Amino acid sequence: MVVMSSYREPSGEIRHQESNTRAFVNERELGSGTLYIAESILSWKSSTSEDGFSLEYPHISLHAVSKDFSNFPHECLYLMLDADVDNTAEADDDDEEEDNLTIVRFVPADKGILQQLFEALKDCQLLHPDPNDSISEEDEFDGDDGADAISDITIQMNSINNGNGNGHSDDAMDAEPGQFDDAE
């Protein structure tokens, strides 16, 4: 769980900084503040206090520009996190499945900036690939399994190549001896 705390600006290069951005965690509005999309971390700081929060990129499962007013009344930068990020002390323990998923929305005062926020977030997230998404040696083909699959394909291809198009192989055709010998 991440709780609002005393905030420090992110280190490293800041790709985009947007003031007058309201933050929402699940259904709770945290107020207006500044959104920092840095190469190291994504952060938001309240404009009325020293409180804020930071999110590590591998925990951001999905991000998008949302214009769906049926679920949320504002255009926003929508983030789905694979971790519990709750800023209330009274977290509801009845539904444990939702406890592992958090929705964070950033609503900038200037809606025209949403695509730029999305692009900056995408670029920074690419710098921090999820280690659980990489292919391990165990996931790769075993030499024998791969050889069997290639062998099956080769056999099927040879069957097709040896056919003359009407279901008969070249061996079944009547050829006169020496018909295909090279001329001397």
Q: What CATH number belongs to 5-133?
A: 2.30.29.30
The span from the CA of 103 to the CA of 63, in Å, is 10
Residue 170 DSSP class: G
Judged by average pLDDT, the poorest of 13-22, 25-34, 140-149 is: 140-149
The pLDDT assigned to 101 comes to 87
Percentage of the chain lying above the pLDDT 90 cut: 46
Segment of 95-104, 118-127, 155-164 carrying the highest mean pLDDT: 118-127
66 to 93, 111, 121, 160: CA distances (angstroms):
28, 11, 14, 51
**Is residue 133 very low, low, confident or very high in pLDDT (cuts 50, 70, 90)?**
low
CA angle, 12 then 18 then 22, to 5°: 120
The pLDDT assigned to 146 comes to 47
Task: Count Cβ atoms within 10 A of the Cβ of residue 82 and give its class: 0-12 exposed, 13-18 middle, 19 or more buried.
Answer: middle
| Residue type at 38 in one-letter notation | A
For residue range 94-112, list pLDDT tens digits in order.
444 445 789 999 999 999 9
147 to 137, 150, 156: CA distances (angstroms):
17, 5, 14
| Residue type at 116 in one-letter notation | Q
Residue 23, strand partner residues:
31, 106
121 SS3 class: helix
- On the question of pLDDT at 154 being above 80, the answer is no
Domain ranges of the chain: 5-133
The pLDDT assigned to 8 comes to 67
The pLDDT assigned to 82 comes to 86
Q: What are the tokens at 46? A: 């309240």
Mean predicted lDDT score pLDDT of the chain: 75
| Residue type at 97 in one-letter notation | E
Task: Count Cβ atoms within 10 A of the Cβ of residue 35 and give its class: 0-12 exposed, 13-18 middle, 19 or more buried.
Answer: buried
For residue range 68-96, list pLDDT tens digits in order.
999 999 999 999 998 776 645 444 444 44
